[in-house]
Amino acid sequence: GYRNAVICDAILESAREGRRVRIEY
């Protein structure tokens, strides 16, 4: 669904930034 896409994008972005921001779901 749409939520999964948003979560995936957020995880990818955090991974790109070296996990500076931890996103917890």
Into how many domains does the chain fold? Answer: 1
pLDDT at 19: 58
The pLDDT tens digits of the residues spanning 1-25 come to 788 899 888 888 877 776 555 666 5
Q: Which domain holds residue 7?
A: 1-25
pLDDT at 1: 72
Q: What predicted TM-score, i.e. pTM, was given to this entire model?
A: 0.44
| The residue to which tokens 């790109």 are assigned | 16
pLDDT at 24: 64
Say if CB 20 and CB 14 are below 8 A apart. yes
pLDDT at 18: 62
Q: Is the dihedral angle over the CA atoms 11, 13, 18, 23 positive or is it negative?
A: negative
